[in-house]
Every structure is written in structure tokens, then in C-alpha cells.
């Protein structure tokens, strides 16, 4: 995961904590200039340290003075109507984002929100929700694809085909959701957009137009087959992207209304061979009824 994404999430937690504790910070600043508070607080800390030392050396500890100082400090704050209670959105990590060096769930959630925003996916669905509403014949497929999200990605190209409404987008969004929950960097692009970028690249040779497709961790290409085929551009560069990502072991997920035969006819043998390669690809055909109509 990119370090800048983690930093962005950490900054979000810190900013949120600061806003929540604005009064707390103001009160701390106010008390830092109050001589009576400074005197009481200093005396209390000295007594606590001394009691800790006595306890460590096995000496008798009398905490009467410590309790009295705490009581005096509490009364002082009440008289001044000042609260020094710090609040937290997450009580587990106290808004730090980490517990014993491990990412807290709140930080992971914020990272997921950033990744979702950057992915171009509008709304995602979890596999758990998908399984509840999907036809019985899809259950094993959903389980298999959920397992793939946590695997070694040796098979790094998934081709999901089927007629409109059979659940291609539903399945791809469930995959994307699972990956984002794992902190993976996901990018969605339509076939129309990628073809348009290919055309612009061929005339400008702006490497950034291709790099965004060659370098992202998980690339989702939606509705392959609906894009305009620019002569000597679209097919060549599409193969280049698919092949380069395959060589780099980066994952590509493609949805299409086209069958494998139609893919062969529309594109060429090179792209077809990558999609059906049993060693590196998972071709999926959803041939159920239109789920949108069923709903």
C-alpha cells in the first residue's frame, strides 16, 4: 500500500480528534498560564512519582497526600468550570490508529474510504450481502472469488462475461470491496475510457496515459466490447496493457457482454489467448436470468 495513503488516513484521524477535543486543547492552553493550577499539578506529579519510587523499593506508601492533592485539583477545575476530559472517536486506540504496533480497525476503515474514493467505484457490496441475494447457483462462485481475493494471485486475470443484468457488475463490486477492505489499491475504468486514452496516447505519447493502467495493483475494466475500436490502436495497446500486467503479476478484472467466441472475433488471438490461459486466468460466464428483472 502506498505510504501517502496511510499518512492521509492518519491525518484524517488526527484532525477529527482535534476537532472533537477543541475545548480540551483550549482548556489545556488556558491552564498552562494559571499559576495556581501549575502549582497543584506539579505537587501532585511529584507526590505520585515519589509514591511510585517507594512502591518500587518496597517502602511503606501512604497515599493520603496524593488523594488530597487530586481532590484539590478537582475542586479547582470545578470552581473554574473547566473540563480536562479528553474524548475519543475510537476508545480502543485513542484515535492514534494503532494498537501495539498494529493498525486499528478505525485506521483500516479510513484507508478503505480513501481507496474507495480513488477507485472510481461508486458503491460496493460485500460478499456477505451478495451471497444473501444471489441465486443458489452463484454461491460457490462467490465463495471461490472471495477466496481468490486472499490468495497468491497466480491467476491474475479474471474475465467475467454474460448478458446484461446477470450479475457481472455485482460480482466485480464484491471483489473490489473485498480487496479494498484488505487495503489493496483498486482502479475502475470503462472500456470506453481506456480506448479513448489509448487514442490520445498514440498521438501524444504521454506516458502517464498508459502508466496509470500498467502500474495500479488491481485494474477493473468494465464493459469490454462497448468501446470504439480505433484502427491499429485499441487492440494493440489493450494487448500491451493486459500482457504487461500479466508479466508484472498485477491483477486485471474484465467484465463484458461478449462471449469468448465474440472476444476472439472482435479482437485477436493474442488477447483471446491471455483470457483463456488456464495457468494465469479465470474465465467466468454468468448465464443466469436477468437479476434486475427478477428483483
Answer yes or no: do 58 and 135 share one domain. Answer: no
Answer yes or no: do 83 and 180 share one domain. Answer: no
Answer yes or no: do 177 and 220 share one domain. Answer: yes
DSSP states of 20-39: HTHHHHHHHHHHTT-HHHHH
Q: 103 lies in a domain? A: no
Cα-Cα-Cα-Cα dihedral sign, residues 238, 243, 249, 255 = positive
How far apart CA 19 and CA 190 sit, in angstroms, is 39
Strands 157-161 and 251-256: parallel
Cut 0.85: pTM above it: no
DSSP states of 3-16: HHHHHHHHHHHHHH
pLDDT along the chain (295 residues), means of 10: 84 89 78 87 89 87 90 86 81 93 89 86 86 83 94 95 88 93 90 94 92 93 94 94 95 95 93 94 80 36
Q: For residue 180, what is its C-alpha cell?
A: 479494498
Non-local (6+) Cβ contacts of 211 within 8 A are: none
Residue 74, domain extent: 3-97
Q: 112 lies in a domain? A: no
Q: 251 lies in a domain? A: yes
Burial (CB < 10 A; 0-12, 13-18, 19+), residue 211, is exposed
Strands 98-99 and 102-103: antiparallel
Q: 35 lies in a domain? A: yes
SS3 content of the chain, % helix, strand, coil (to 5): 60, 10, 30
User: What's residue 1's pLDDT?
Assistant: 53
Answer yes or no: do 154 and 247 share one domain. Answer: yes
Answer yes or no: do 244 and 172 share one domain. Answer: yes
Contact between residue 272 and residue 264 where contact means Cβ atoms under 8 Å apart? yes
Q: Which of these three, 65, 97, 129, is where a domain ends? A: 97
DSSP state, 93? Answer: T
Q: 110 lies in a domain? A: no
Answer yes or no: do 66 and 146 share one domain. Answer: no
DSSP state, 286? Answer: -
Task: Give the number of domains in the chain.
Answer: 2
User: What's residue 8's pLDDT?
Assistant: 92
Q: Which residues pair with 159 in a beta bridge?
A: 254, 283
Query: For residue 290, how far is the Cα from the chain centroid?
Result: 31
Q: Which of these three, 97, 132, 164, is where a domain ends? A: 97
- Residue 248 phi, psi dihedral angles, 5° rounding: -85, -5
Q: 227 lies in a domain? A: yes
User: What's residue 291's pLDDT?
Assistant: 42
Coil, strand or helix at 83: coil
Q: What is the CATH number of the domain that holds 289?
A: 3.40.50.300
Answer yes or no: do 145 and 176 share one domain. Answer: yes
Answer yes or no: do 192 and 225 share one domain. Answer: yes
Answer yes or no: do 62 and 175 share one domain. Answer: no
Q: 105 lies in a domain? A: no
- What is the distance between the terminal CA atoms of the chain, rounded to a whole angstrom? 38
Q: 145 lies in a domain? A: yes
Answer yes or no: do 125 and 269 share one domain. Answer: yes
Answer yes or no: do 17 and 143 share one domain. Answer: no
- Tens of pLDDT along 169-201? 889 999 999 999 888 889 999 999 999 999 999
Give the H/E segment covering residue 1: none
Contact between residue 179 and residue 150 where contact means Cβ atoms under 8 Å apart? no
Contact between residue 275 and residue 243 where contact means Cβ atoms under 8 Å apart? no
Answer yes or no: do 218 and 268 share one domain. Answer: yes
Amino acid at each position: 500500500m502506498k505510504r501517502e495513503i496511510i499518512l492521509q488516513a492518519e491525518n484524517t484521524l488526527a484532525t477529527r480528534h482535534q476537532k472533537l477535543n477543541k475545548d480540551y486543547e483550549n482548556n489545556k492552553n488556558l491552564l498552562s498560564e494559571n499559576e495556581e493550577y501549575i502549582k497543584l499539578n506539579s505537587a501532585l506529579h511529584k507526590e505520585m512519582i515519589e509514591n511510585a519510587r517507594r512502591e518500587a523499593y518496597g517502602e511503606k506508601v501512604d497515599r493520603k497526600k496524593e488523594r488530597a492533592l487530586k481532590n484539590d485539583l478537582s475542586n479547582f477545575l470545578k470552581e473554574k468550570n473547566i473540563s480536562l476530559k479528553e474524548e475519543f472517536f475510537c476508545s480502543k486506540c485513542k484515535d492514534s490508529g494503532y494498537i501495539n504496533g498494529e493498525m486499528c480497525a478505525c485506521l483500516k476503515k479510513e484507508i478503505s474510504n480513501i481507496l474507495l474514493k480513488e477507485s472510481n467505484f461508486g458503491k460496493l457490496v460485500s460478499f456477505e450481502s451478495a451471497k444473501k441475494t444471489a441465486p443458489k447457483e452463484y454461491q460457490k462462485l462467490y465463495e471461490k472469488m472471495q477466496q481468490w481475493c486472499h490468495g497468491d494471485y497466480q491467476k491474475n486475470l479474471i474475465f467475467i462475461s454474460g448478458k446484461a443484468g446477470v450479475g457481472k457488475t455485482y460480482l466485480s463490486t464484491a471483489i473490489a470491496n473485498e480487496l479494498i477492505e484488505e487495503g489493496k489499491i483498486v482502479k475502475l475504468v470503462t472500456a470506453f475510457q481506456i480506448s479513448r486514452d489509448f487514442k490520445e496516447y498514440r498521438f501524444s505519447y504521454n506516458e502517464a496515459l498508459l502508466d496509470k493502467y500498467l502500474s495500479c495493483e488491481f485494474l477493473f475494466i468494465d464493459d469490454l466490447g462497448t468501446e470504439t475500436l480505433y484502427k491499429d490502436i485499441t487492440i494493440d495497446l489493450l494487448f500491451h496493457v493486459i500482457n504487461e500486467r500479466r508479466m508484472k503479476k498485477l491483477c486485471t478484472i474484465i467484465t463484458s457482454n461478449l462471449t469468448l467466441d465474440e472476444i476472439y472475433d472482435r479482437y485477436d488471438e493474442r488477447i483471446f489467448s491471455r483470457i483463456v490461459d488456464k495457468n494465469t486466468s479465470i474465465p467466468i460466464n454468468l448465464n443466469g436470468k436477468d437479476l434486475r428483472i427478477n428483483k
